[in-house]
Structure 1
Amino acid sequence: MSEIRYDLLHDEYALIAPERLHRPDCYRTLREEESADHRNCPFCPGHEAMTPPEIFSLRDGGDPNTPGWKTRVVPNLYKAVQIEAPWQSEEVGIYTLWEGLGAHEVIVDTPRHLTRMDGWSENEYFNWLYTLRSRVNDLRNDIRLVTISLFKNHGHYAAATQTHPHTQLIALPVVPKETVVQMERAKHYFDRRRHNIFESVLHQERSDAKRIVLESDRFIAFCPYASTFAFETAIFSKNGIVSVSDLDEPMMRELGGVLKQTIDALYEELGDFDFNILFNTPPLQKNSETETFYDDIPHIWRFGIRIVPRLFRLGGFELESGIQINPVLPEEAASLLKTALKALS
């Protein structure tokens, strides 16, 4: 029996339809293991000249743009926006045009040319999170940049164009409408209930105890009640952490461990799969678009990461309605992932 579930955090619906799992050609064929030949990979050590000069690197020593790094950050060669653009807008008839100001960076997650994230060590997870935090903190100093998007595309079906593990960052001088709507909803929820909407969700998940994959002292991984994608998994802070900027080193070690266990369990259950990882980073600056909620962010927001496996194709209904059809019950997904964790332990 299918169910229409409401997503409290995102104010949208998901159609959970297990019957769809059995339709012909529903699940895409898993790709073959990609070639280990990385002689032309621009993100491998020794190929630093194939990328723009680095913005940041995590290394024990050595000069910039040389081998010996643990993580490396460079401008995206095919950047959507650029930091050198003027900070201005103009009216074009009834329309408004902004110059393409912003930051578009590539974080090379590890020097190892791994095609599967379950090969990462806990230190590699820590280095990755440390680098993401460093870039957010640095870009926060540019008052022109108001929002920042951190995302990882892995595999063809998740829109990745390089097999070497990497993450992207796009910072903009404007606030996406979806961000404004979600922040204002979170503030409205807090104003009415004097309670954080994320805390309400986590309280319900712990009370139901059917969709939790694993917990640590400060983080919890679960398959959301109204998951829009099969095996979608969220990791949220259980305390007052608002952004990746708030993570200290012990927190990053702990979060890296939770991420590793979650990713390993997904690979154990799904095999080699494509996915996106999304960070829910709040706005960086207070301006006319964020002033209604900016000062309340510490009370209304919580840090989280969303892991979205890309297992099924989207059809016309999803594109027209904005409602995703998920053929795997979140409760079933969580149960399978917990079983996978036991098999890995």
Structure 2
Amino acid sequence: MSEMRFNPITLDWVIMASDRSMKPNDFRKEDRVRPELPAWRENCPFCVGNEHLSAQEIARACDKDGSWQVRVVANKYPAFSPMEVVERHNEGTFRSLSAAGAHEVVIEHPKHNVALSDFTAPHVRALFGLYRERYEALRLNPAVESIVIFKNHGERAGTSLEHPHSQITAAPIVSAQVEARLQEARRYHQKTGDCLYCRVLADELEAGVRIVEESESFVAFIPYASLSPYHLWIFPRQHASSFGAIGDCDLDHLADILSRQLRHLHVALGDPDYNFMIRSSPARAVHSPYYHWYVAIVPRVSHLAGFELGSGTYINSSRPEHCAEVLRAAAVMN
């Protein structure tokens, strides 16, 4: 019989469809063959040597020889415009505001054909160092209320360009989804005096069965009520609400564990399409006692269908305990 589990962080009920439990090979797309890409394309604005084709450069991280490792440029088609004043309009039930903030593209590597799962740990460290730098810079914009750092890998994850890249958006609002999670975390803290996220992490560590990897500073695990198969969270061990406050040592540890988890997913699921995002506190809540930043990696191996869209309830076709076991085995194979 199927089981329903509650996710106290996302506030979702998830149906664990045990009768439909799927093996890793069930998620592999045997008919999908990623094309062999060249290391450089003449018309790619993100390739090294083609910097003049990209939008205005905002920041870069360089190698010891002065060549760039990672670049941040303005998005040519931004969802949010670089403004510091938000204009608001209200008329009856019609409300609008100017989409002030920022929308930046992070060019993750000079080469066209290198996937993030194949980056060296120092290169991932440089990438996340620029994430932190831009996060802190955007947080100072008075129009910005929330910042999202995310990556789309593969067509099913929403990517539109081949060259490895990710994005940073800074918005003038806190979304309804994030606000609901904040309110629940605040309520839990007021009731218990504890951080809900710290409590979830402690419970997962005690249970052990869904832990994929532990490092000195981070824990990678499949949550008890994961919304989809192989949906992975990476939590800092120490309470911290803002990604922008991460220290250099923890940045090194984060680069290490993230690199390994992406390789494990690659081995286990055959280079799946995925999204990853850094979920951090709102821009003004730098030292919140009840929010805890983390990284989510979501392989796009399942679809939302009519039931999910109509009910708001997820069906997970692979139990979290099994997914964690598969990823631990992939670590041995890798």
Q: What's the TM-score bracket when you normalise by the shorter of the two chains? A: over 0.9
Q: Deviations over 1:81-132 (max 9, x none)?
A: 2114852112244311212212111111122223533211001110111010
**Stretch of structure 1 that moved more, 52-61 or 142-151:** 52-61
**8 Å Cα contact 2:112-2:163 kept in structure 1:** yes
CA distance in 1, matches of 2:115, 2:75: 22
Does structure 1 retain, via aligned residues, the 8 Å contact 2:84–2:141? no
**Per the alignment, in what secondary structure is the counterpart of residue 339 of structure 1?**
helix
Structure 1: how far apart are the matches of 2:114 and 2:136? Answer: 29
- Asked if 1:335 is matched to 2:331, the reply is no
2:53 to 50, 54, 66: 50
User: Partners in 1 of 2:138 and 2:155 — Cα distance?
Assistant: 29
TM-score, L = length of structure 2: 0.93
Change beyond 3 A, Cα 1:240–1:50? same
Secondary structure of the structure 2 residue equivalent to 1:55: strand
**CA distance in 2 between partners of 1:50 and 1:86 (Å):** 30
The code of the aligned residue for 2:261 comes to T
Q: With structure 1 as the length reference, what TM-score do the two structures score? A: 0.90
Are the aligned partners of 1:274 and 1:309 in contact in 2 as well (CA < 8 Å)? yes
The alignment status of 1:17 with 2:17, answered yes or no, reads yes
Deviation at residue 13 of structure 1 after TM alignment? 1.0
- Report the RMSD for the aligned CA atoms in angstroms: 2.1
Q: 1:248 is matched with which residue?
A: 247
How do 1:1-345 residues align onto structure 2 when only pairs under 5 Å count?
1-21=1-21, 27=27, 29-30=29-30, 31-37=32-38, 38-39=40-41, 40-60=43-63, 68-84=67-83, 87-114=86-113, 116-285=115-284, 294=285, 297-344=287-334
- Deviation string 1:126-172 (CA, Å, 9 cap, x unpaired) is 01110100001101111111111111111000001112111111111
Task: Give the whole-Å Cα distance in 2 for the aligned partners of 1:2 and 1:163.
Answer: 40
Return the alpha-carbon distance in structure 2 between the equivalents of residues 13 and 152 of structure 1. Answer: 26
Structure 2 residue aligned with 1:288: none
Q: Equivalent residue of 1:164, what SS?
A: coil
Partner of 1:289: none
Q: Secondary structure at the match of 2:9?
A: coil
Uncovered stretches (5+) of structure 2, i.e. residues with no partner: none
Give the whole-Å Cα distance in 2 for the aligned partners of 1:207 and 1:282: 26
Change (3 A) 1:115 1:311: farther
1:223 CA drift (Å): 0.5
Structure 1 residue 27 displacement after superposition = 4.4
8 Å CA contact retained: 1:85, 1:99: no
| Most deviating of 27-36 and 155-164 | 27-36
Counterpart code for 1:307:
I
Q: CA deviation at 1:313?
A: 2.2
Tell me how far 1:226 sits from its aligned partner.
0.5
Instruction: Give every structure 1 segment of 4 or more consecutive aligned residues whose post-TM-superposition deviation is greater than 4 Å.
Output: none
Which SS does the other structure have where 1:231 is aligned?
Answer: coil
* Cα distance, 1:29 vs structure 2: 2.4
1:103 & 1:186 partners in 2: Cα distance? 27
Per-residue deviation, 1:74: 0.9
Q: Is contact 2:139-2:147 (8 Å) kept?
A: no
Q: Name whichever of 132-141 and 52-61 sits farther off.
A: 52-61
**Letter aligned with residue 8 of structure 2:** L
> Secondary structure of the equivalent of 1:74?
strand
Amino acid at match of 1:168: Q
**Displacement after TM superposition at 1:204 (Å):** 0.9
Aligned equivalents of 2:295, 2:22: Cα separation in 1 = 30
Contact in 2 for aligned 1:240/1:298 (Cα 8 Å)? no
Q: Aligned pair in 2 of structure 1 residues 237, 22: CA closer, same or farther (>3 Å)? A: closer
Contact 1:108 1:165 in 2 (8 A): yes
Say which SS state the counterpart of residue 142 (structure 2) adopts: coil
SS, match of residue 299 in structure 1? coil
Q: Distance in 1 between matches of 2:8 and 2:306?
A: 24
Give the aligned residue type for 2:319.
L
Aligned length: 330
Distance in 2 separating the partners of 1:183 and 1:224: 18
CA contact (8 A) 1:28 1:313 kept: no
| Cα distance between partner residues in 2 of 1:22 and 1:341 | 20
- Using a 3 Å threshold, how does the CA distance of structure 1 residues 214 and 22 change in structure 2: closer, same or farther? closer
